[in-house]
């Protein structure tokens, strides 16, 4: 196949979405497919919308020597209008790669309406959809116009489980749960408001009577102001001895932190899937995730962990207290998480599913 992929910025960016894109590109190339990556510059929303009036971008896209163009849904502001022009020219098949929808994470009603409108026009311009979870697919289908709702082909291909190495077996998980009196927590993800680190810190502020330690792992450059506000809050509440900010770390350091932890906590406003949850389950961590989005396809309430509604600080604090006081249950959840991880597809299996889908679109 001759394919194209449209993204913002570098394919090497350290987010779950870009990891997904890289793994798909690597697999397709290994199968002998040709794939051209077209990178658009990161700018603000207004500038991205202005791309739709760029004749140079339209020409660049129109002249791609591809049979099928994959567009990361993150790029929808730059493509929402251009796609309809590309459809009229009928040069190649258009397929969207959807990690999560911006309208699902917007805080205000005005932003929700704006993103829903833009994303609806973008999604309806496509010939096919690749989604990272059933939740993401359902949200995307809800934005399709009635005539397209069941006619646009789609596939759900979960992120793979095997980009990290190592892990913990049952005996180690059981020993770890009893070994430390302090409940060791870990957050992994870019430090942006959507990920809910501020809610986690507020929950821990309610648990000062308990011994705990939190490792916060993630790039602070994505939202410097937010990261600084978190650090100031920790200092103001005198939690520096119990909360450590690591920033972005190498894979070996992340694996070491995961091995030491008991619970992974990522109480996001919304997650399309949440690859970091899967990384925690590899190491037998009980997982507390968002009740909004794809995490429920990986975490069964009370089995591998808990699902918390965005902003429900009291519930989050109660769950952490319960896990601290019941180490047997903590171990059972960790073992169940590891077993659930073992059942999950690899990147190769998910990428093969995507390739079969792309071939079906061309046929």
On the question of a common fold for 2-160+346-362 and 170-343, the answer reads yes
The gap between the terminal CA atoms of the chain, to the nearest Å, is 11
pLDDT on residue 149: 64
pLDDT on residue 107: 73
How many other C-beta atoms lie within 10 A of the C-beta of residue 334?
30
- What digits encode the pLDDT tens for the residues 123-161? 999 999 999 999 999 999 999 997 766 689 999 999 999
pLDDT on residue 73: 96
234 is written with which tokens?
């920790």
Asked if residue 217 lies in contact with residue 243, where contact means CB atoms within 8 angstroms, the answer is no
Residue stretches of the chain with pLDDT short of 70: 106, 148-150
CA distances from residue 210 to 206, 207, 259 in whole angstroms, order as listed: 9, 6, 21
- What digits encode the pLDDT tens for the residues 190-215? 999 999 999 999 999 999 999 999 99
Domain range 170-343, CATH class = alpha beta
pLDDT on residue 224: 95
Q: Tell me: domain 2-160+346-362, CATH 3.40.50.2000, correct?
A: yes
What distance in Å separates the CA atoms of residue 74 and residue 5, rounded to the nearest whole number?
A: 12
Q: Where are the domains of the chain?
A: 2-160+346-362, 170-343
pLDDT on residue 188: 96
């Amino acid at each position: 196949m001759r394919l194209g992929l449209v993204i913002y910025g570098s394919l090497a960016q350290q987010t779950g979405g870009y990891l997904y894109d890289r793994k798909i590109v690597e697999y397709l190339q290994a199968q002998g497919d040709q794939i051209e990556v077209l990178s658009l510059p990161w700018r603000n929303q207004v500038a991205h919308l202005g791309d739709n009036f760029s004749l140079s971008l339209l020409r660049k896209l129109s002249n791609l020597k591809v049979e099928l163009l994959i567009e990361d849904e993150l790029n929808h502001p730059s493509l929402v209008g251009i796609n309809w022009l590309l459809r009229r020219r009928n040069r190649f098949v258009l397929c969207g790669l959807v990690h999560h929808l911006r309208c699902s994470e917007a805080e205000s009603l005005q932003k929700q309406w704006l993103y829903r409108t833009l994303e609806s026009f973008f999604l309806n311009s496509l010939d096919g959809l690749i989604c990272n979870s059933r939740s993401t697919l359902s949200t995307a289908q809800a934005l399709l116009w009635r005539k397209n709702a069941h006619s646009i082909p789609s596939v759900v291909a979960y992120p793979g489980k095997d980009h990290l190495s190592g892990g913990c077996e049952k005996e180690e998980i059981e020993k770890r749960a009893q070994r430390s009196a302090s409940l060791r927590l870990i957050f992994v993800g870019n430090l942006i408001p959507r990920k809910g680190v501020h809610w986690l810190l507020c929950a821990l502020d309610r648990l000062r009577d308990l011994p705990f330690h939190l490792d916060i792992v993630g790039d602070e450059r994505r939202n410097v102001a937010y990261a600084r506000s978190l650090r100031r809050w920790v200092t103001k509440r005198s939690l520096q001895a119990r909360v450590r900010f690591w920033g972005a770390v190498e894979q070996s350091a992340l694996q070491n932190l995961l091995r030491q932890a008991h619970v992974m906590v990522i109480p996001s406003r919304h997650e399309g899937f949440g690859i970091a949850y899967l990384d925690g389950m590899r190491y037998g961590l009980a997982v507390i995730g968002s009740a909004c989005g794809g995490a429920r396809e990986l975490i069964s309430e009370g089995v591998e962990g808990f699902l918390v509604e965005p902003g429900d600080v009291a519930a989050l604090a109660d769950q952490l207290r319960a896990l601290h006081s019941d180490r047997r249950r903590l171990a059972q959840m960790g073992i169940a998480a590891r077993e659930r991880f073992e059942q999950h597809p690899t990147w190769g299996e998910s990428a093969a599913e995507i390739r079969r889908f792309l071939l079906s679109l061309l046929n």
